């Protein structure tokens, strides 16, 4: 190996190591802080001299993390299901059907990506309140009083997810993937008597698994980490998602840095697990159009 090649490899690996430290280092330090005793929480070492897991139990029980964890899980799963379903239903006709104004509709979808959330945040809030998308307990008949907590929880979940369930990015991503599916597969399904919905569900969506996984990951991460909208729309503390609950932790555990770190690790862990489960399809979806031939 020539000195020039060796120097190039050394520079490349050094840069990769620096990027890894910058990306992974803060998370490892957070995990380290979460298992420290209060007396040595600020010591400058990655592996603490004394470790404890009581901080996780304290954050889970006293900080209300358990209920917020359930809320975030349900909201994120519901958001993924609605976003994939609606984006797929919108992307299929944009990819395969011909109708007047098709290009204008697609451009209109894409233009919404350029509008920051803060611009339409207040109108969206007013529309959501007018449509009854709040976390307030619904008015049920007397014989359904036992279902009121469940109905309130479902209403709160819909209030968080429904306004964002139509994703312009998801429509674009699935449309581009559908355009790459050979029309012969659809024609063969039509010969067998399949309708358009059957073709979409049994032919197009299974072939779009990489794109669906990519959309699912982006939607899950965005919903799980969403803070501003749940803070605006939720009034009942029992309905708080994890980001809102963590913000309230400043008042509950303001001096307990290790407990705050433990709560943060609990909030981050599901995102990492979800990505690891779908990473094969995610990488496939991202690189699907990168190589020709």
Distance of CA 143 to the CA centre of its chain: 37
Query: What pTM, to 2 d.p., does this model score?
Result: 0.85
With a cut of 60, say whether residue 252 has pLDDT above it: no
With a cut of 70, say whether residue 4 has pLDDT above it: yes
Phi, psi of 43, deg, nearest 5: -70, 145
Q: What is the DSSP letter of 181?
A: S
With a cut of 50, say whether residue 293 has pLDDT above it: no
| pLDDT band with cut points at 50, 70 and 90 for residue 212 | very high
Helices (H), the chain: 3-34, 54-62, 65-96, 102-111, 117-130, 148-161, 168-179, 183-191, 196-199, 205-207, 209-224, 228-233, 242-252, 257-287
**Longest Cα separation, the chain:** 84
With a cut of 50, say whether residue 14 has pLDDT above it: yes
Domain annotation for the chain: domains and CATH numbers: 1-52 (no CATH), 67-287 (1.10.3720.10)
């Amino acid at each position: 190996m020539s000195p020039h090649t060796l120097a190039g490899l050394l520079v490349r690996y050094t840069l990769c190591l620096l990027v890894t430290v910058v990306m992974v280092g803060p998370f490892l330090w957070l995990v380290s802080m979460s298992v420290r005793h209060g007396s040595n929480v600020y010591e400058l070492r990655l592996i603490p001299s004394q470790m404890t897991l009581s901080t996780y139990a304290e954050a889970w029980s006293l900080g209300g993390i358990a209920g917020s964890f359930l809320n975030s899980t349900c909201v994120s799963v519901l958001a993924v299901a609605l976003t994939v379903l609606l984006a797929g239903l919108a992307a299929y006709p944009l990819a395969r059907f011909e109708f007047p104004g098709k290009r204008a509709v697609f451009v209109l979808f894409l233009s919404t990506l350029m509008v920051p959330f803060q611009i339409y945040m207040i109108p969206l809030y007013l529309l959501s309140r007018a449509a009854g998308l709040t976390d307030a307990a619904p008015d049920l008949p007397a014989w359904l009083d036992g279902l009121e907590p469940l109905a309130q929880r479902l209403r709160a979940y819909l209030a968080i997810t429904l306004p964002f369930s139509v994703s312009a990015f998801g429509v674009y991503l699935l449309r581009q993937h559908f355009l790459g599916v050979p029309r012969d597969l659809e024609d063969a399904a039509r010969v067998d008597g399949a309708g358009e919905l059957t073709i979409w569900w049994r032919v197009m969506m299974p072939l779009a698994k990489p794109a669906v996984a990519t959309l699912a990951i982006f939607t899950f991460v965005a919903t799980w980490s969403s803070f501003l909208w749940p803070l605006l729309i939720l009034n009942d503390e029992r309905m708080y998602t994890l980001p809102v609950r963590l913000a309230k932790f400043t008042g509950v555990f303001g001096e307990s840095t290790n407990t705050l770190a433990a709560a943060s690790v609990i909030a981050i862990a599901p995102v990492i697990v979800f990505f690891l489960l779908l990473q094969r399809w995610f990488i496939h979806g991202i690189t699907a159009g990168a190589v020709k031939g």
